[in-house]
Chains A and B, each alone.
Chain A
C-alpha cells in the first residue's frame, strides 16, 4: 500500500478529498485507483494522451517523479505519493 496525499487546491473540485492508502506498483496504477475513488480526477491530473499535465507535480519518496509521459515510476509498500500543483505566476 502507498499513502497518497493531495494538494488542497483539488478540494474545490472534489470536496470529499482526503489522503488515501492505495494499492499500486506505479504512478499510473495509483492514478487509476484514485480515479475509482474520485471519478473525473484523472482528467484534472493527466492530459488526454495519458501524460502528466505540465503544471501538475507528483513527488515520490520526496523526489519529483521522472517519467511524466508513461507514469512508469515504480512504487513500493510504504511509499508516500504527493500530488501538487506547480507554482505559477499571475
Chain B
C-alpha cells in the first residue's frame, strides 16, 4: 500500500508492505504546507492542497502518482458575500470527496464555510448555494470559526449506495445532511452538546472535529466532537455520546472505523481543550468493538512518557489491516497487526496535517 503524508513542510510518500520495512518513495512540495490530500479511487488522481504562507491556498493534481503535477483552478467565491456584507474569499481548502456513482462529481469543503462541487472532474467548481444561504447561517454568529477566523467544512461523507445522499461536518455549525445531491440541507445535530455555548443543545453551533460514515452501513456515523465522542445508528437523527472511561478525556480530533464492523472504532484522545497534549503525556489509541460501551487501550509500542504529540483530524487512517497516524510533532506510527503493535516510521518529520492510504 502507498501512504501519502501531508506535513507542514512537504508531501511524503511511503510504501508499506507486510513483509518488509516501510520505504520512503518520494517527497513532493518540499518546504510547503500540505493541508489537504485526496485520492480519487475512481480515477486514481491525487489531489493536494497547499497552504502557502505568502501566496495563499493552491491546489494541484497528479495523474501519475506524483511523477508530474498540474496546478488546478481554485474554486472562487467571487460574487458571494459573508453575512457581514464583506466579499467572501477562499481561505483554505479543508476537504475533498468524490461523488460515488456520480462519475464526474467532486465535492470540496472550504473555509469560510462554503461547499463547492464540480461536475466535470475538477476542471471547474461551483459554490453550493443551498448550504451557503442556509437559513441557519443568515445571522452573524450562528456559524463561526474554531481555531480559525471563519467556519470550515472539514468532512464530507457520501453514501456509497446513493450518491445523492451526503453529509458535511462544519466547525462550527455541526452536521448537515442532503438527500438530493446538495439541493437542500438539514441540520443533524440532535443529541450533541456544545458545552462552550450558553445553550449546549443548539441545533446549529456544534463543533464536530471529524465525521466518518460506515462504508457498509451508511446509517452509522461516528464523530469525534469538541465535546466528546458520538455515534448514530439512524443517519444522524439522534446522536449518542460514549465515554472512554470515568475521568478520562474524550476530547480529541482523530477517529478511524473498521470497514467491516460498524461497531468498531478507534480514537486518539487529547488531554483537554486547554491542554492540547497527549493525556498524561502518554500517547494512547483506544478501541471499541461495541459502539463505545467499553474501550481498551491498544497502544503497545507507543511512547509512554513526555509525549506532547497530538493527532489532528485528518491524520489517522485505517484501511484493511493497516492503521497509521502522524502527530503534530512529526512522529509517524503504523501497525499491520490485528492487536496493534505500533512501529515508528519516522520521528523527525514536521507537523502532520493529513494521512491518506491508497
Binding site for B on A (CB under 8 A): 9, 13, 40, 43-45, 47-49, 53, 55-56, 85-86, 88, 90
Q: Which residues of A contact B71 (CB under 8 A)?
A: 40
Q: Which residues of A contact B20 (CB under 8 A)?
A: none
Q: Which residues of A contact B55 (CB under 8 A)?
A: 13, 43-45, 53, 56, 85
| In the complex, B90 has a CB within 8 A of chain A | yes
- Contact pick for A48, options B52, B58, B87, CB 8 Å: B87
A-B contact list, 20 entries, CB within 8 Å: A9-B54, A13-B55, A40-B71, A43-B56, A43-B58, A43-B74, A44-B56, A45-B55, A47-B56, A48-B77, A48-B88, A48-B89, A49-B89, A53-B55, A56-B54, A56-B55, A86-B54, A88-B53, A88-B54, A90-B53
5 further interface pairs, Cβ-Cβ under 8 Å (given A45-B55, A47-B89, A85-B54): A43-B55, A44-B52, A48-B76, A48-B78, A56-B54
Question: Nearest Cβ distance between residue A81 and chain B, in whole angstroms?
Answer: 17
Q: Which residues of A contact B88 (CB under 8 A)?
A: 48
- Contact pick for A55, options B53, B74, B78, CB 8 Å: B53
Per-residue interface assignment for chain B, residues 56 to 70, with 1 indicating a CB less than 8 Å from any chain A CB and 0 otherwise: 101000000000000
Instruction: Please count the residue pairs between chain A and chain B whose beta carbons lie under 8 angstroms apart in the complex.
Output: 35
Q: Which residues of A contact B76 (CB under 8 A)?
A: 48
Q: Which residues of B contact A56 (CB under 8 A)?
A: 54-55
Give the contacts of B104-149 with A (CB-CB under 8 A): none
Per-residue interface assignment for chain B, residues 80 to 95, with 1 indicating a CB less than 8 Å from any chain A CB and 0 otherwise: 0000000111100000
Please name the residue on chain A nearest to B77 by beta carbon: A48
Contact B74 A53 (CB under 8 A): no
Q: Which residues of B contact A53 (CB under 8 A)?
A: 54-56
Please name the residue on chain A nearest to B30 by beta carbon: A12
Q: Please, how many angstroms separate the alpha-carbon atoms of A48 and B74 in the complex?
A: 10
Binding site for A on B (CB under 8 A): 52-56, 58, 71, 74, 76-78, 87-90
Q: Please, how many angstroms separate the alpha-carbon atoms of A43 and B74 in the complex?
A: 9
Q: Which residues of B contact A44 (CB under 8 A)?
A: 52, 55-56
Question: Nearest Cβ distance between residue A33 and chain B, in whole angstroms?
Answer: 19
Q: A40-B71, A43-B74 are known contacts. Are A49 and B87 too (CB-CB below 8 A)?
A: yes
Q: Which residues of A contact B53 (CB under 8 A)?
A: 55, 88, 90
Question: Nearest Cβ distance between residue A47 and chain B, in whole angstroms?
Answer: 5
Please name the residue on chain A nearest to B75 by beta carbon: A48
Q: Please, how many angstroms separate the alpha-carbon atoms of A90 and B7 in the complex?
A: 14
Please name the residue on chain B nearest to A47 by beta carbon: B89
Q: Please, how many angstroms separate the alpha-carbon atoms of A40 and B58 in the complex?
A: 11
Question: Nearest Cβ distance between residue A90 and chain B, in whole angstroms?
Answer: 8
Q: Please, how many angstroms separate the alpha-carbon atoms of A53 and B58 in the complex?
A: 13
Q: Please, how many angstroms separate the alpha-carbon atoms of A9 and B58 in the complex?
A: 15
In the A-B complex, the 4 residue pairs with the smallest Cβ-Cβ separation, listed nearest first, are A48-B89, A49-B87, A44-B55, A85-B54
Question: Nearest Cβ distance between residue A34 and chain B, in whole angstroms?
Answer: 14
Please name the residue on chain B nearest to A85 by beta carbon: B54
Q: Which residues of A contact B77 (CB under 8 A)?
A: 48
Please name the residue on chain A nearest to B55 by beta carbon: A44
- Contact pick for B54, options A43, A47, A55, CB 8 Å: A55
Q: Which residues of A contact B54 (CB under 8 A)?
A: 9, 53, 55-56, 85-86, 88
Q: Which residues of A contact B58 (CB under 8 A)?
A: 43
Q: Please, how many angstroms separate the alpha-carbon atoms of A50 and B77 in the complex?
A: 12
Q: Please, how many angstroms separate the alpha-carbon atoms of A6 and B234 in the complex?
A: 56
Question: Nearest Cβ distance between residue A12 and chain B, in whole angstroms?
Answer: 9
Q: Please, how many angstroms separate the alpha-carbon atoms of A47 and B91 in the complex?
A: 9
Question: Nearest Cβ distance between residue A57 and chain B, in whole angstroms?
Answer: 9
Q: Which residues of A contact B90 (CB under 8 A)?
A: 48
Question: Nearest Cβ distance between residue B349 and chain A, in whole angstroms?
Answer: 15
Q: Please, how many angstroms separate the alpha-carbon atoms of A40 and B56 in the complex?
A: 12
